[in-house]
Amino acid sequence: MNYALRGLLAEVAVLGLATSLSAQKAPADLLPPEPAPVIKSDVMPDESVVVSEPVVQETAPVVQQTWPAVQKWSIADANELAAVIEGISAEGLDPNEYGLDGLRLALAGGPGDALNQAASASFSWLAEDLRDGRTPMSARRQWFVVDPDADRMPTAQIMATALTSGDIAGVLAQLNPTHPDYARLKEELAKTPKSDAAKRKLLRANMDRWRWLARDLGNQYLMTNVPEFQLRLTVNDKIVRTYKTIVGKPGRTATPQLAETVEGVIFNPTWTVPQSIVKGEGLGARVLGNPAYAKAKGYKATRGANGYITVVQQPGPGNSLGLMKLDMPNEHAIFLHDTPSRGLFNSEMRALSHGCVRTERASELALTLAILQAGIEAEEGVAILKSGKYTRVGFKQTMPVYITYFTMGVDIDGNLRRFNDIYGRDAPVLESFDKPRQFNRARYSDEEVIVIEDDMRT
């Protein structure tokens, strides 16, 4: 095992990385126990292409409840809620959007139905935005992350906990994202003068993007910020390794934002060539008619009884997926993988792929995850990699991977900076802040799912 890999494993071990993930935490113990983790089989398939089934989301209401059951509010609790709303601009939200005037009017009238209704509505709207984000789904371009927080922390239950504890401010504060990068954006917002409206608006938009994700991302995960062209291996909120990435070209092949699960590593993958190339570019006929060319490129072609040609590129150094891919089944056919065109990582602008995320030093990443998540020995992993044979190493415990899009955030060097909006996804988010807050917002995107067919070449 080389020294770089030894150093990485040692660093991860010091941070307490285990082969199992800690359950995500919810504020105030609002949730029932989560189900036991699913243990994936580590049985290796044969050397054929494995087509993964799309991830099917669990059935859930498409529209969030805006008005949970009205609960009884005391004057003291309602005053505390009003104080939280008055200071909510520190979290990048607008106090005027949470019924503050109506709440004050109801407070003047004393305890009763009017106060209960006004306070319950104000609390619900604020809790929803702190938990899920203010930006409506229609403004989240190619955002396919399903945030679990609304199911894990129902609004009515949050309100009941706040009223039972008498700590309205504390319970609402626990809804904020736990990631330290959110805190950095919040600090910068506090330092930015109101005269710099454009910067403040961009900070607010990117603070809101953190709310679109799960409040707690877990104690170990992979995260790539598409406009930064970087992938992070993170343990206990500490970045232990970073990798340059190549992401999708602007347009139809732009990389979508996802929260998926890595189930294993595929060493020496095969690549099934899409029909847009097999038929559309005549590759099938060329491979069948030129055995020397097919052998040089590692292509194997078969023609079915109906004349349909299938072309599979075999494992090897010239394989379009390189020497590894992460097994992360999803309906978009997006995954992280190696590439034989490694010189492209030296380019400053790396929006060059057909949607998938090509990863620098991919073999190092694959070996690290196989050792830590599958429990194999380092020497065994190296032998599998060098064998040149298709091998899937299934994880004993899966790992989250987040494909995000932040245009202002903390870079891999720890500096807060702005990233180029390579896909033009800021505009609709920023525009949504100029419009009235939407009620009854959809939880899931209704945008077209663009299945990536070709991540072969630049």
CA–CA gap between residue 382 and residue 9 (Å, rounded)? 14
CA–CA gap between residue 89 and residue 248 (Å, rounded)? 35
Nearest to 439 by CA among 120, 60, 67, 116: 67
In a domain, 213, yes or no: no
> 136-172: buried (b, 16+ CB within 10 Å) or exposed (e) per residue?
bbebbbbbbbbbbbbebbbbbebbbbbbeeebbeebb
Residues 237 and 322 in one domain: yes
Residues 230 and 343 in one domain: yes
Share of the chain above pLDDT 90, in %: 74
- Rounded to an integer, the average pLDDT of 148-154 is 95
CA–CA gap between residue 407 and residue 228 (Å, rounded)? 8
CA atoms within 13 A on the CB side of 357: 32
Each residue's pLDDT tens digit, 384-410:
999 999 999 999 999 999 999 999 999
Each residue's pLDDT tens digit, 108-139:
999 999 999 999 999 999 999 999 999 999 99
In a domain, 128, yes or no: no
In a domain, 149, yes or no: no
Tell me which of 57 and 335 has the higher pLDDT.
335
Q: How many other CB atoms are found less than 10 A from the CB of residue 224?
A: 24
Nearest to 239 by CA among 221, 257, 260: 221
Q: Is the pLDDT of residue 160 over 90?
A: yes
Taking a C-beta distance cutoff of 8 angstroms, is the pair 66, 439 a contact? yes
In a domain, 131, yes or no: no
Residue type, 120: S
Tell me which of 53-62, 74-83, 351-360, 372-381 is least confident.
53-62
Taking a C-beta distance cutoff of 8 angstroms, is the pair 133, 208 a contact? yes
CA–CA gap between residue 359 and residue 254 (Å, rounded)? 16
CATH number of the domain where residue 250 is located: 2.40.440.10
Residues 254 and 282 in one domain: no
In a domain, 429, yes or no: yes
In a domain, 155, yes or no: no
Residues 247 and 366 in one domain: yes
Each residue's pLDDT tens digit, 355-386:
999 999 999 999 999 999 999 999 999 999 99
Each residue's pLDDT tens digit, 280-307:
889 999 999 999 999 999 999 999 888 8
**What is the predicted pLDDT for the residue at 4?**
61
Each residue's pLDDT tens digit, 234-278:
998 899 999 999 999 999 899 999 999 999 999 999 998 888 789
* Category of 298 on φ-ψ map: left (φ > 0), alpha (ψ -120 to 50) or beta: left
Taking a C-beta distance cutoff of 8 angstroms, is the pair 231, 222 a contact? yes
In a domain, 333, yes or no: yes
Residues 289 and 427 in one domain: no
Torsion sign over Cα 304, 309, 310, 312: positive
Question: What DSSP string runs through 330-390?
Answer: -TT---EE--S-GGGGG-S--EEESSSEEETTHHHHHHHHHHHHH---HHHHHHHHHH-S-
Residues 243 and 360 in one domain: yes
Confidence (pTM): 0.85
| Enclosing domain of residue 457 | 1-60+219-270+314-458
In a domain, 292, yes or no: yes
Each residue's pLDDT tens digit, 13-35:
545 544 443 334 444 444 333 33
Residues 293 and 385 in one domain: no
Taking a C-beta distance cutoff of 8 angstroms, is the pair 129, 121 a contact? no
CA–CA gap between residue 385 and residue 381 (Å, rounded)? 6
How many domains does the chain divide into? 2
Residues 307 and 318 in one domain: no
Residues 238 and 358 in one domain: yes
Residues 324 and 303 in one domain: no
State which of 295, 311, 327 marks the end of a domain: 311
Residues 334 and 446 in one domain: yes
**What single-letter DSSP state applies at residue 402?**
E
Residues 332 and 372 in one domain: yes
Taking a C-beta distance cutoff of 8 angstroms, is the pair 21, 399 a contact? yes
CA–CA gap between residue 46 and residue 24 (Å, rounded)? 35
Q: Mapped to the 3 state alphabet, what secondary structure does 111-178 carry?
A: CCHHHHHHHHHHHHHHHHHHHHCCCCHHHCCCECCCCCHHHHCCHHHHHHHHHHHCCHHHHHHCCCCC
Cα separations in angstroms, 232 against 143, 163, 220, 245, 251: 20, 40, 10, 10, 25
